[in-house]
Amino acid sequence: MRGITKRFGAMTANDHIDFQVEQGEIHCLLGENGAGKSTLMNVLFGLLCPEEGCVEIDGQPISALTPRLAYQLGIGMVHQHFMLVNHLTCLENIILGNEPGKVVIDRKQARARVQALSDQYHFNIDLDAPVSDLSVGMKQRVEILKTLYRGANIIILDEPTAVLTPIEAEQLLSILRDMRTQGKTIIFITHKLKETLDVADRITILRGGKSVALLSAASATPEQLARLMVGHDVVFEIEKPARAQGDVVLRVEDVRLLQNAQSTVSFEVHAGEIFGIAGVEGNGQQQLEEIIMGLTRTKGGRIFYQKTNLLELSLRARRKLRFAYIPSDRLKQALLSHVSLQENFLLGNQYDPQYVRRGLIQKKALRENTLRMMREFDVRAVSAQQSAGSLSGGNQQKFVLAREVSKQPQFVLACQPVRGLDIGAIKYVHNVLIRLRSEGAAILLISAELSDIFQLSDTIGVLYKGELMDVRKAGAFDNESISLLMAGRKEAQADETNR
């Protein structure tokens, strides 16, 4: 790709980028949120048409690229957000749009080909399972298999590991290595430097829409990569002042998270405390999140917020309590993607007299506050009129954070708050949570990232198969003991604090 320039209105997302990938390599594309990575790849895949520059494949310049043509040229893409049809099976999803047979689909032939590919790369997919039943990791494999089935030689993966558990991520990396051995070329976007150094041959770094470096992974260090991405030195440590705990703000009593869990969960979060829930995703995190927010009902158990039992309140009454809620799936649960940022800011604030008076939206106050929060939280966008869906993945996350924090909450429910964020933004989010803690908010942090849990939490609970394995002060855990608990192994321990 040469001299690629792509503008969105006044915003230049890609500014004369040269990007070159060699046959049979794993090439990592790094950069801050909004650096233009997804945009560049969408250009390569023909989803976006650049204002300037050209794409060459095997030395041939390609004009008027479309996704269909890209597939014919052997380019496949797995998007940041999946594009599978939920009620179809894996096999059906894979062959969708490219079914063998003239009129009637030749299932036998399709199955044989897909199975062969699946075996070749050790995918371990049950082809007849409906996609809706699969874990994220499996869905991703289906997406990859789909590109392979269509004959892709160059495969673009946009932040594939952001939503994976550590084990799934490790498995994905080994699949990628496998594919490289078999001659495929892979372009891999990630924010995780360790992964990058693990798997990449070469690395291109984008910053502010420009390509700033191309280096070989063998000689790179994490500090160097971080500096190139951000443009200045990055301090990885953050400061967390000691703070006395206040009163109990949220008390969860006897709530059953998973139907087949052996016991219920109970815990307390105090004012000025960050309570971290560690654990591999899929162990009840989603349920805990939705039960606290009232999105799913539970039988039995109680959840007290100060003196009121949340489970007896309507959604709207809960919202009046001004919880800050950062859902794990921001696009599905926190944003209206075709609607302007300004109106997205209103979402959840629509009963605040500052923004709506006598049923009428106060446009001016809304716009001013939206812009102010966006500046404060460094949400990079052209205007408040831009639609939420047009923000880069990381900036969407920052926007949700900005909106929720601006409510000056007493209680914060932060689920996977740093997923998909660059290192600078992660640090920023950490600082915001710590600031809220200093202001006396009670914070329930649900995260699959151990680094989040360790850096932020005052108290840590480990969730496994819907049960809290152990709850202790942060200092009482180390990396190893927590990993064991996350895998379901409870050590014989004298001081069981599991209430």
Ligand X SMILES: Nc1ncnc2c1ncn2[C@@H]1O[C@H](COP(=O)(O)OP(=O)(O)OP(=O)(O)O)[C@@H](O)[C@H]1O
Interacting residues toward ligand X by CB under 6 A: 8, 11, 13, 31, 33-39, 380-381, 386, 390-395
381 binds, among ligand X, Mg ion, another protein, none (CB under 5 to 8 A by kind): ligand X
CA atoms of 249 and 323, how far apart (whole Å): 11
Q: Does 319 bind another protein (CB under 8 A)?
A: yes
Q: Does 38 bind Mg ion (CB under 5 A)?
A: yes
Q: For the CB of residue 446, give the shortest distance to another protein in the complex, in Å.
A: 15
Strands 308-309 and 302-305: antiparallel
416 binds, among Mg ion, another protein, ligand X, none (CB under 5 to 8 A by kind): none
101 versus 231: smaller Cβ distance to ligand X: 231
316 binds, among Mg ion, ligand X, another protein, none (CB under 5 to 8 A by kind): another protein
61 binds, among ligand X, Mg ion, another protein, none (CB under 5 to 8 A by kind): none
249 versus 429: smaller Cβ distance to ligand X: 429
User: Which of these, 76, 74, 105, 104, lies nearest to 89 by C-alpha position?
Assistant: 105
Stretch that binds another protein, among 28-36, 42-50, 90-98, 243-251 (CB under 8 A): 42-50
For residue 218 the two structure tokens come to 């063998």
315 binds, among Mg ion, another protein, ligand X, none (CB under 5 to 8 A by kind): another protein
CA atoms of 319 and 325, how far apart (whole Å): 10
Tell me the per-residue interface mask from 358 to 397 with another protein, x by CB under 8 A, - otherwise.
-xxx-x---------------------xxx-xx-------
Q: For the CB of residue 93, give the shortest distance to ligand X in the complex, in Å.
A: 24
* Strand (E) or helix (H) holding 177: helix 166-181
Q: Which of 14, 33, 80, 161 binds another protein (CB under 8 A)?
A: 80
Stretch that binds Mg ion, among 32-40, 197-205, 320-328, 479-487 (CB under 5 A): 32-40
363 binds, among another protein, ligand X, Mg ion, none (CB under 5 to 8 A by kind): another protein
Q: For the CB of residue 486, give the shortest distance to another protein in the complex, in Å.
A: 27
CA atoms of 497 and 246, how far apart (whole Å): 20
Q: Does 68 bind another protein (CB under 8 A)?
A: no
User: Which of these, 257, 271, 246, lies nearest to 464 by C-alpha position?
Assistant: 257
Instruction: Give phi and psi for 223, each to the nearest 5.
Output: -60, -40
Contact 161, 78 (CB under 8 A): no
SS3 286: helix
Burial class of residue 99, CB neighbours in 10 A (0-12, 13-18, 19+): middle
Which residues are CB-contacts of 166 (< 8 A; sequence separation ≥ 6)? 280, 448
Q: Does 314 bind another protein (CB under 8 A)?
A: yes
340 binds, among Mg ion, ligand X, another protein, none (CB under 5 to 8 A by kind): another protein
Burial class of residue 57, CB neighbours in 10 A (0-12, 13-18, 19+): middle
SS3 157: strand
User: Which of these, 288, 229, 279, 278, lies nearest to 258 by C-alpha position?
Assistant: 288
Which residues are CB-contacts of 350 (< 8 A; sequence separation ≥ 6)? 356
CA atoms of 323 and 306, how far apart (whole Å): 12
36 binds, among ligand X, Mg ion, another protein, none (CB under 5 to 8 A by kind): ligand X
Q: For the CB of residue 81, give the shortest distance to ligand X in the complex, in Å.
A: 10
Q: Does 69 bind another protein (CB under 8 A)?
A: no
- The binding site for another protein (CB under 8 A) comprises 9, 38, 42, 47-49, 64, 79-81, 293, 295, 314-316, 318-320, 325, 327, 332-340, 343, 346-348, 350-351, 356, 359-361, 363, 385-387, 389-390
